[in-house]
């Protein structure tokens, strides 16, 4: 009884059960879905949303929001591509691309915390600014990835699994560890839950929030490099719309828009849920337009389910505390 209650308390439960249910349904419905190569494809196409959603989880948990990630994806891909074109080594090019995401995140965070402006508006403005910059960088010729060192990121495989998928798993584990077990991660929860209490307990609230935006910018740039490698080209608008998809994935995974509650694993499950849906609907030979409708319905269902579990939790907690008192 107690165990089952504890499962209910996990914020990842709705997303996890939805993913399992979908995978089961699609596996029964389509023989092609359950092939290893299709599952690998599914993971490969979900990892862009996954990276952005992980970064978004840091920002949302700290009580902010980052709308600029869609443009930062384009920026990271473009700068890495340009550096490779000009003969920089792979490491240097990758570092340059990721650094551009860090810089945008840093600027977002500094403007928001120093000038005390609304995060929604600041990151909306930087969405537009960064998009313009990337458009100017890519205006004369689209940056081609097919020939360069990072071009084969999504093609290379270890056995049946893409290398990119392995990277994604490693990165997810690292980010989950950072949010859950480091003092920076704990500070993010504290700042998002109650900034004043966090300040009084000695946490540097501003620095924590700025760092959350830096993480988001970094992850968006990383997603941009992977997307550029996957599509083998960079256009300014190729990341547009990812900000809303990433927020959806994070929230499906149990992260709160009000801050103080978030999970990297939840975000990963949310991204996986959206990816599975897209993959399954294509296999069901429904027009891609259905994905929009179903995605909307899934967001509503997952968040409403999370709310329902919250109600169950508040009913369950008194029972537990009563038991604890009886035992103690």
Least distance from other proteins to the Cβ atom of residue 52, Å: 15
User: Does residue 10 belong to the site contacting other proteins (CB under 8 A)?
Assistant: no
The tokens describing 190, both together, are 């504290």
**Contact with other proteins (CB under 8 A): which of 21, 174, 300, 312?**
300
| Spatial contact of 150 and 80, defined as CB atoms under 8 Å apart | yes
**Contact with other proteins (CB under 8 A): which of 141, 200, 202, 292?**
292
| Spatial contact of 234 and 145, defined as CB atoms under 8 Å apart | yes
Q: Which of residues 248-287 bind other proteins (CB under 8 A)?
A: 248, 251, 257-258, 260, 287
- Closer CB to other proteins, residue 30 or residue 256? 256
User: Does residue 289 belong to the site contacting other proteins (CB under 8 A)?
Assistant: yes
| Spatial contact of 38 and 44, defined as CB atoms under 8 Å apart | no
User: Does residue 299 belong to the site contacting other proteins (CB under 8 A)?
Assistant: yes
CA distances from 120 to 68, 240, 291 (A): 9, 16, 27
- Closer CB to other proteins, residue 123 or residue 208? 123
**Among 45, 225, 43, 72, which Cα is nearest to 149's?**
225
Element spanning 234, H or E: strand 233-234
Give every CB contact of residue 247 below 8 A, 6+ residues apart in sequence: 53, 56, 60, 65, 257
- Reduced to 3 states (helix: H, G, I; strand: E, B; else coil), residue 59 is helix
Cα-Cα-Cα-Cα dihedral sign, residues 186, 271, 55, 60:
negative
- Closer CB to other proteins, residue 155 or residue 307? 307
- The window from 84-92, 177-185, 207-215, 312-320 that contacts other proteins (CB under 8 A) reads 312-320
User: Does residue 290 belong to the site contacting other proteins (CB under 8 A)?
Assistant: yes
User: Does residue 291 belong to the site contacting other proteins (CB under 8 A)?
Assistant: yes
Residues that bind other proteins (CB under 8 A): 67, 111, 115-118, 120-122, 124-129, 131-133, 135-136, 139, 193-194, 196-197, 236, 244, 247-248, 251, 257-258, 260, 287, 289-297, 299-300, 303-304, 307, 313-315, 317-319, 321-322
């Amino acid at each position: 009884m107690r165990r089952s209650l504890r499962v209910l308390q996990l914020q990842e439960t709705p997303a996890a059960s939805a993913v399992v249910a979908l995978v089961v349904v699609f596996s029964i419905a389509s023989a092609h879905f359950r092939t290893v190569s299709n599952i690998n494809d599914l993971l490969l196409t979900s990892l862009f949303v996954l990276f952005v959603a992980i970064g978004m989880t840091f920002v949302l948990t700290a009580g902010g929001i980052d709308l600029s990630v869609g443009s930062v994806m384009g920026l990271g891909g473009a700068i890495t591509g340009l550096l490779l074109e000009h003969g920089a080594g792979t490491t240097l090019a990758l570092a340059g691309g990721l650094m551009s995401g860090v810089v945008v995140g840093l600027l977002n965070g500094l403007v928001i915390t120093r000038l005390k402006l609304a995060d929604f508006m600041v990151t909306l403005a930087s969405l537009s600014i960064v998009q313009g910059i990337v458009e100017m960088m890519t205006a004369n010729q689209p940056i081609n990835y097919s020939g360069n060192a990072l071009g084969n990121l999504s093609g290379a495989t270890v056995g049946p699994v893409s290398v990119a998928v392995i990277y994604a798993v490693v990165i997810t584990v690292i980010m989950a560890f950072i949010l859950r077990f480091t003092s920076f991660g704990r500070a993010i929860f504290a700042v998002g839950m109650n900034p004043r209490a966090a300040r009084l307990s000695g946490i540097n609230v501003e620095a924590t929030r700025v760092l959350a935006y830096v993480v988001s910018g970094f992850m968006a740039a990383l997603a941009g490099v992977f997307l550029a490698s996957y599509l083998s080209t960079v256009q300014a608008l190729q990341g547009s719309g990812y900000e809303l998809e990433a927020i959806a994935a994070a929230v499906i995974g149990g992260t709160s828009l009000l801050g103080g509650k978030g999970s990297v694993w939840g975000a990963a499950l949310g991204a996986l849920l959206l990816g599975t849906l897209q993959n399954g609907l294509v296999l069901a030979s429904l027009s891609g337009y259905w994905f929009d409708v179903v995605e909307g319905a899934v967001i509503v269902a997952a968040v409403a389910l999370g709310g329902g579990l919250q109600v169950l939790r508040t009913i369950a907690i008194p029972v537990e505390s009563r038991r604890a008192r009886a035992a103690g």
